[in-house]
Amino acid sequence: MDSTLVEMFRHNLWANLRLLDACSTLTPEQLEAETEGTYGRIQNTLVHLLAAEGHYVTLLTGVKPERPLSDRDPLPDIDVLRQYAENSGKMLIEIAQEDPYETTLKVAYQGEDHDLRAVVPLVQAIHHANEHRTHVVTILSQLGQEPPELSVWAYDDETSR
């Protein structure tokens, strides 16, 4: 039986892909839209969100993406972001299935090694993604676009059938 954490990462992947699908219909000008109180432009926010997921995967596995995402111009298009979302999302699900709760990572921070419980970057990945998906949904609403429903209720409705 899968854990709650595994289901959270399944939702995370589903929500990321659903948001990317909604953004795939935006014009280049709309992808550059931003709203006060959010991370920044839609496309930059999506890149930031998925680059961070790749970083968490690397932190947890030591495996680096073949080509890391960058929020420098030129920004990757939605299709490239979708590939990153699928890859990092599936990896995070696999990591969560291994039940890493008791695992301790050795990480370098500010030139010193530290112990870090593996569950910390996993929980941070969920928190970080929710925060930045909310930023993009806010900007979409400000543009007059109908944002996708990303709730766990919608996820359950769509995936439990």
> What tens digit of pLDDT does each residue of 46-101 get?
999 999 999 999 999 998 888 888 777 678 999 999 999 999 999 999 999 988 87
pTM reported for the whole predicted model: 0.93
Give CA–CA dist 135/34, Å, rounded: 9
In a domain? residue 160: no
| Total domains, the chain | 1
| CATH code, domain with 78 | 1.20.120.450
The whole domain housing 30 covers 4-154
Terminus-to-terminus CA distance in the chain, angstroms? 18
Residue of 115, 113, 103, 143 whose CA lies nearest to 5: 103
In a domain? residue 161: no
The angle subtended at Cα 121 by Cα 103 and Cα 43, nearest 5°, is 150
